Amino acid sequence: MAIYARVSTDNQTVENQLIELHAVAQRQGWDVVAALTDEGISGAKGRDRRPGYDALLKGIARREFDQIMAWSVDRLGRSLPDLVSFLNDAHAKSVDLYLHQQGLDTSTPSGRMMFQMLGVFAEFERAMIRERIMAGLRRTTKKSGRKPMPSDRVEAIRKSLLDGLGIRATARLHRASPMTVTAIKRSMTTAQENRLESVAV
C-alpha cells in the first residue's frame, strides 16, 4: 500500500494527514510501502508540477503496490477527467483506492461510483473559484468603464500568481495593470480562504 498526501499552501503541512492515514493502515493491518507527498502545490497542477503525484502514478504503472490511501478526493486533483483517468489507470493495474475523509473504498462497485461523484464536486468547487475571480474582475471593470478581460487571459494571470510570480512581474508579463492583477489575486485569496474553512486538512 502507498499513502499520498498533499496540501495547497505553504502554511499547511501534510503531517496530520500522514499520522491519521498511518494509524488507519495500522488498524486495518495494511502494510505501507511508500508515503508520497506534495506540499504547497495546487491539485489543479499537472503531474509534471507534482513530484509526489508523479511518483504515485509511476508506482501504479509498475504495480509497486495494490492500494492507495489519500485523505480525500481533492488531495488527488480537481479536474474530473483527470480523476476518472487516475481511477481507470489504477484499476487497470488492480490498484484500489481508499479515501479517508469520505470513507470510500474503490474495491467495491458502489465505491467506484461514489469516487466519480466526488470528482464532480471537486471540479464544481474549482469552477466556483474561477467564477468568484471573474465576478471580482467584473466589479473592477465596471467601476473603471473598461471591457471585461477574456477568461483565458484571466486564467493565465491566475496561473502566474499560483506559480509564485509577484503582482508587478505578472502585470508586466501579461500586459495588464497592477490593479487588475491585484483584483485577481484578491479573488483567489478569498476563494482559497473559503475552501480552507470547508475542507479539514
Q: Which residues contact 118 (CB under 8 A, 6 or more apart)?
A: 73, 99, 102, 104
Q: What are the extents of the domains in the chain?
A: 2-121, 124-198
Per-residue model confidence (pLDDT) at position 123: 66
Per-residue model confidence (pLDDT) at position 197: 47
Q: What ranges in the chain are assigned the alpha helix state H?
A: 15-28, 51-61, 73-76, 80-92, 109-144, 151-162, 167-174, 178-198
Given a cut of 70, whether residue 85 has pLDDT beyond it is yes
Fold assignment, 2-121: Rossmann fold (3.40.50)
Tell me the per-residue pLDDT of 96-150, one tens digit each, with 9 for 90 and over. 889 898 788 887 787 777 767 766 666 666 677 777 777 777 776 665 555 667 8
| 3-state secondary structure (DSSP) of residue 49 | helix
In this prediction, residue 178 has a pLDDT band, given cuts at 50, 70 and 90, of: confident
- Number of neighbouring beta carbons within 10 Å of residue 96: 19
Distance from the first to the final alpha carbon of the chain:
21
Tell me the per-residue pLDDT of 146-160, one tens digit each, with 9 for 90 and over. 566 788 888 889 888
